[in-house]
Copies of this chain bind each other. A is one copy, B any other.
Amino acid sequence: MASSPNSITMEELDLERNGRAERSQWLLHAPEPPGLVSELMSSIRETVFPNGNKFSSSVKKQPVSKTMISVLKGIFPILCLFRNYKAAKFKNDLMAGLTLASLSIPQSIGYANLAKLDPQFGLYTSVIPPLIYAFMGSSREIAIGPVAVVSLLISSMIQDVVDPSIDPTTYKKIVFTVTFFAGIFQASFGLLRLGFLVDFLSHAAIVGFMGGAAIVIGMQQLKGLLGISHFTTKTDIISVLASVWRSIHHPGRRNKKLFWLPAIAPLVSVVLSTLLVFLTRADKHGVKIIKHIKGGLNPSSAQQLQFNGSHLGKTVKSGLIIAIVALTEAIAVGRSFASIKGYHIDGNKEMVAMGFMNIAGSLSSCYVATGSFSRTAVNFSAGCETVVSNIVMVVTVIICLELFTRLLYFTPVAILASIILSALPGLIDVNEAYNIWKIDKLDFLACIGAFLGVLFASVEVGLVVAVLLSIMKIILNSIRPGIQTLGRLPETEIFCNINQYKMAIKTPGVLIIRIDTDLLCFSNANYVRERIMRCVSEEKEESGGTEKGTTQALILDMTNLSNIDTSGILVLQELHKKLLSIDIELAMVNPSWKVTHKLKLAKFIDEISEKQIFLTVGEAVDASRRSKIVSF
């Protein structure tokens, strides 16, 4: 209606129009996009050779011996390390390893207690798995060993099958079998490149899940603690709690020189409390002590794996769940520290390493090991350089197993509870939960769902709730896409959402709509059509209901749409027919490669005519205004 007369000459107009027509031809006559088969092939290629063809090309140039070495280096990243490994690095690794060991030893004993196993099994788990990981894994900081949540999972899931207080031997056997299956699952996830499965536990879900698990563990331990509340080390516990709370919550922020203080606090409290009990003989006054810890290195447990019997189904299921939870924690830990140092971790390779370390562990009396967040943080702040710090830790634990287990005879059981408790605050990340609430309410729903599920139902229910809520988010997002009405930003050729940019100006007579979804498909196509038609009728009402046909063109900006299915195409056809019946022209802008191809196959491009397809919104607006000038 109010179209200001254009100040361009007819010649310029023709030139412009030719350029536009040519560009539309580029759009319409692009080569065919890769079909499903070639997409599948390239997806498989990507999955199998994630680093492109680099590997195969380097193979051709090199002699066999060098190829062998590079393959070996691929499988055992530790081999890459020897080239540049110097004394200074070793010194750092040695210090970090010793610090790590001083935290690892008491934690391992504590977590074994949580998993309802004898203390030595925790120590065993701090020997074989970190050793295997050191050779196969690619993270430099991660501290491998038993962790709180996995220990809780083990005891809570296997207790349903066998009660450890009634039949500890069978319980132990099933723990090893579960560990074996967890390893098998982890390794196969890695080998089959199913790394994305771990992504289904979203960041928000993990935060909620960890928080819930920490509270459940805390309740269990507090119950134990309160039973012996007359015990004298109570103040000690509080100090441990406070110091470790600080150490975990602010890694790197506090005084660098004192990093070892909170890290060795657990060991100090173990030593002090053990001495105290030994001196006062408090065990005779009701304080429970660990008593005998079996010394010596890991015995073989290959004979104890149970592949028959009625528990097999439950064992495999537990193995799968524990495998996923352990991987999720390890990969989250590995990635966050790798990104601080700016190197890359290959999730699939990590999974293979974790799988093999747990398979090896299950054959040598270990239960499921993974990357511990609190110990990794300590390892990192202690200045570790390579996985050698893990090896130092292993050697220290071995020495402890060989020589010092007798010294732990008088260690009060309560101190173990306090060590477990001291690691829990690090798992409850209220700040992050608040951040999630602030940023994304649906994420928070997954977070709180996992939290409450773990707290009030069970660990498995919490996991399932978290995954289901996360998948629901994807589906919800797919069935209710938004649409934006676009307007021109003043003095530019840029068209933007008029709600976001209040200064954007609508073009009279033209309604420009952008569809906010990447896949116009059965689940959202009808909804999108209804939203668009509502926009059209609202536009009509605004411009005064009586003046028929004020909106003369509807421009669909399809930039966001990367794919479409047959239901989506049907809906576009219906939309086109409806718009025709109320005298509105439909133009489409910048349909993506696949969409253009499919619209051509479905003959929809012929239906609306090639002239109604444009590369930019500006061109479509100009064309529709010009056709108005012509038609008036």
Q: Which A residues lie at the B interface, using CB under 8 A?
A: 19, 23, 26-27, 30-31, 33, 35-36, 43, 50-52, 54, 196, 199-205, 335, 339-340, 342, 344, 347, 435-436, 438-443, 470-471, 473-475, 477-482, 489, 491-494, 496-497, 499-503, 516-519, 521-527, 530, 533-534, 537-538, 541, 559-560, 562-567, 569-570, 573-574, 577-578, 580-582, 592-593, 596, 598, 601-602, 615-616
Cα A602 to Cα B516 in complex, Å, equals 23
Interface centre among A199, A204, A502 (most CB of B within 10 A): A199
Smallest CB-CB separation from A30: which chain B residue?
B500
Smallest CB-CB separation from A444: which chain B residue?
B566
Q: Check A526/B477 contact, CB under 8 A, given A482-B562, A565-B204, A601-B439.
A: no
On chain B, the residues within 8 Å of A573 by CB distance are 339
CB A614 to nearest CB in B, in angstroms, measures 11
Among B499, B502, B530, B559, the residue within 8 A (CB) of A559 is B559
Smallest CB-CB separation from A594: which chain B residue?
B482
Give the number of copies in the complex. Answer: 2
On chain B, the residues within 8 Å of A474 by CB distance are 474-475, 478, 519, 521, 523
Among B33, B50, B516, B569, the residue within 8 A (CB) of A518 is B516
Whether A494 and B562, one on each chain, are in contact in the complex, defined by CB atoms closer than 8 angstroms, is no
Whether A200 and B527, one on each chain, are in contact in the complex, defined by CB atoms closer than 8 angstroms, is no
Whether A527 and B196, one on each chain, are in contact in the complex, defined by CB atoms closer than 8 angstroms, is yes
Whether A500 and B592, one on each chain, are in contact in the complex, defined by CB atoms closer than 8 angstroms, is yes
Q: Check A503/B442 contact, CB under 8 A, given A199-B479, A335-B574.
A: no
On chain B, the residues within 8 Å of A527 by CB distance are 196, 199
Q: Check A30/B199 contact, CB under 8 A, given A474-B474, A518-B477.
A: no
Cα A212 to Cα B584 in complex, Å, equals 40
Whether A578 and B438, one on each chain, are in contact in the complex, defined by CB atoms closer than 8 angstroms, is no
Cα A597 to Cα B43 in complex, Å, equals 34
On chain B, the residues within 8 Å of A199 by CB distance are 479, 522-527, 567
Q: Check A518/B518 contact, CB under 8 A, given A566-B443, A616-B494.
A: yes
Whether B562 and A562, one on each chain, are in contact in the complex, defined by CB atoms closer than 8 angstroms, is no
Among B31, B203, B519, the residue within 8 A (CB) of A477 is B519
Which 4 A/B pairs are nearest by Cβ-Cβ distance?
Answer: A202-B522, A342-B581, A36-B441, A516-B562
CB A105 to nearest CB in B, in angstroms, measures 33
Whether B533 and A344, one on each chain, are in contact in the complex, defined by CB atoms closer than 8 angstroms, is yes
List 9 contacting pairs A-B, 8 Å CB cutoff, sorted by A.
A23-B492, A23-B494, A35-B441, A50-B534, A196-B523, A339-B578, A436-B566, A474-B475, A497-B593
CB A609 to nearest CB in B, in angstroms, measures 19
Whether A502 and B31, one on each chain, are in contact in the complex, defined by CB atoms closer than 8 angstroms, is yes
Cα A581 to Cα B343 in complex, Å, equals 9
Cα A195 to Cα B411 in complex, Å, equals 65
On chain B, the residues within 8 Å of A559 by CB distance are 559-560
On chain B, the residues within 8 Å of A436 by CB distance are 566
Whether A500 and B578, one on each chain, are in contact in the complex, defined by CB atoms closer than 8 angstroms, is no
Among B30, B196, B339, B438, the residue within 8 A (CB) of A574 is B339
Q: Check A578/B52 contact, CB under 8 A, given A439-B601, A474-B523.
A: no
Whether B470 and A522, one on each chain, are in contact in the complex, defined by CB atoms closer than 8 angstroms, is yes
On chain B, the residues within 8 Å of A43 by CB distance are 480
Whether A518 and B560, one on each chain, are in contact in the complex, defined by CB atoms closer than 8 angstroms, is yes
Cα A602 to Cα B23 in complex, Å, equals 40
Among B54, B442, B565, B593, the residue within 8 A (CB) of A202 is B565
Q: Check A578/B344 contact, CB under 8 A, given A200-B523, A475-B471, A566-B439.
A: yes
